Chains A and B, each alone.
Chain A
Amino acid sequence: MVLPLKLLFQLSVRNIFRHKRRNGMLLAAIVVAVGAVVCTSSLIRGFQYDMADAAVANLTGHVKILAPGYLDDPNIGKSFELAETWRPDVADEELAGWAARVRVPAVIMSERGTRGVQFVGIDPAQEHISFIGSVAVEGEHLADASDGRILVGRALAEQLETGAGRRLVIITQGHDGLNRESGFRIAGLYDAEGTGLEKMFVFTGVDTLQKMVGADVYTEISIRLRRDPVLFQLKASLVEFFTGLDVLNWQELEPQAAAMFVFADSAFFIWYFIMMGALVFGLVNTLVTSVMERVRELGMLRALGMRSRGVVAQVVLESSVLMLIGVAIGIATGWLAVLSMGDGIDLTQWAEGIEAFGMRGKLVPVPLADDIVLIGLMSVVLGVVASLYPALRIVRIKPLEALRR
């Protein structure tokens, strides 16, 4: 027999409106929970994407070509030559850019301090793919690949008590294994979001650094794509081309960031189940109460011939309708909250701390349609599951017993 759905739906809705205050409270709880989940999930996504983006922009790129052993012992000996005409074998619309660099450990000295840094020779024209291409610079940016000046992070300049226009001494190992030292004038101070990068990297023109180490070689090529899928295909073609060199993708280069990326996926579900788990108990409680007050009424309906599954359907519908309304308003509220955060939460105050998580100074929420649909669907399913217990409980009472209460 087909269930009289229209009738059941009418009964459910009327029952909901019979107890306006009680169901209003429950609705409010659902709205808050769903709204909070939408809001936090977009923040978690924001964190996740920011971290991946920072990892890729941090001179890594989506794919990197390195000499074998460079990661274990980064020095100019672990380098390779590159033909002038080389370019990655990727369609232009897939390729965001690529850069060939020399990156060596070095010691940098001012009158008042000495620090260890990564000394990176770059071609500024290629560096729109990394953070150094878009940072704010006090003073001047490097002009071209043969610029003989250096670009120093603001935090490092503060440690060394120096500034734009001053000279610093840099010592590094030459290609022949002997130390090279030279004075460099500071072109400008760059402002990366986060002091870790500023303390780690000192930049100069790649030609200048090649001259200093005494070899026309590179230690890395970094390639950035517009989207991920071409990655595997590109990696395969690079492995073939650069025989004898290591070709690594960003997950391999930044395993911590890659692990955090995966963790953020699960964090979304963990958070969802904590919020909704608490809510479900409230929902079950309310439904049990509302069903138990209607024992006689439901007993009467069954005595008149309504099947027990009809009764179950009625309770499930009641819960689902409540949940659907709650979810709709909740998602709308959450969405508004996300919008109100606008272009992000400013975390620069805690820059040092959040850097440990590979994040930058600003947390921009990223609301994903997929996530929101998933939240809605799972909530409705939870609503159905939660109503099964009260429904089955009422069905277990025999109609005669029910009428006699």
Chain B
Amino acid sequence: MGIGAICLVAVGVAHGEPAAPDPHELIEAAIDHQRSATSYSELRMLIHRPDWQRTLSIVAWTRGLSDALIRFTAPAKDAGNAVLQLDEKMWTYTPKLNRVIRLPFSMMSQDWVGSDLSYNDLSRNDNVLQHYRLAVVDIGEADGLAAYTIEAVPFDSAPVVWGKEDWVVRDDYITLSQTFYDQDLKPLKRMETLEIGEMGGRIVGTRMRMSKLDEDDHYTEMEFIDMDFDLPLEDRLFTTFTLQSGSVPTSGRDG
């Protein structure tokens, strides 16, 4: 409280917006906005490196914050590879091996299929709500809407390696960027929303980019082609059986 809070209030007033909202609610709403109770999405993932790049096609279903099934559909080499997340646990399936493998915790911080996203990035975005001290540190403007910068500093005993995270969340709960800092507070990687559009009946980020900030020209872009929210999903979708059989992709859309 004190001077800092007064300044923030002053900024808020200058923009004609309500005073800084609760950062906790803001992030919770932002995560919920992108995933909702259930969601279905089709996207293209572009992995870019200085001397090569490749594109993968993906379909994904999510339920709540904890369950997700992600399946590659193209190129042929990768088609059929899939990841299942249930709470904290993750499994991968590779058709070439015809085997479901439970990912050990030690692998969760590794890169996912050679992209700039780690398995943790896929699964644990919501731990920011539990393990960090959140504070709105800046209120700016983006496309005519207020954009809140939230600084998230992990608690001392939190199972989090980062020094801090910065989230920029627009007033309509679209996450504009998320930056990860090391413990020297040097930025290491950043997820940015490059395009925002309407999809599945709501305004969401439709193109996002995760860049490694300590390496030039390393980034992974996700471009959403189709999205649907709050569709009925069968329980059997989020099972290792479905992960392996790959039977749902055609029927899942319409539930």
Chain A residues close to B by CB (< 8 Å): 107, 109-112, 114, 116, 148, 162, 166-169, 171, 179, 181-185
Contacts and interface: CB of A to CB of B under 8 A. Distances in A.
Interface of B: 88, 104-107, 109-110, 154-163, 180, 182-183, 188
Given A111-B163, A162-B183, A167 B105 contact: no
Contacts of B104: 107
14 contacts: A107-B104, A110-B161, A111-B162, A111-B163, A111-B183, A112-B182, A114-B107, A114-B109, A167-B183, A171-B106, A171-B159, A181-B105, A182-B158, A183-B159
A112 B163 CA distance: 12
A75 B109 CA distance: 23
Contact of A111 (B105, B106, B161): B161
Contacts of A112: 182, 188
A288 B43 CA distance: 95
B105 A171 contact: yes
A11 B214 CA distance: 88
Interface SS of chain B: helix, strand, loop or mixed?
Answer: loop
A168 B161 contact: yes
A291 B110 CA distance: 81
Contacts of B183: 111, 162, 166-167
| The 5 nearest A-B residue pairs measured at CB | A181-B159, A107-B106, A111-B182, A171-B105, A169-B159
A168 B163 CA distance: 10
A169 B188 CA distance: 17
A109 B109 CA distance: 8
A182 B154 CA distance: 11
A115 to B, nearest CB: 8
B105, B110, B154, B180, most chain A CB atoms within 10 A: B105
Given A114-B107, A167-B161, A169-B160, 18 more contacts: A110-B161, A111-B163, A111-B183, A112-B188, A114-B109, A148-B157, A167-B183, A169-B159, A171-B105, A171-B159, A181-B159, A182-B158, A182-B159, A183-B154, A183-B156, A183-B160, A184-B157, A185-B156
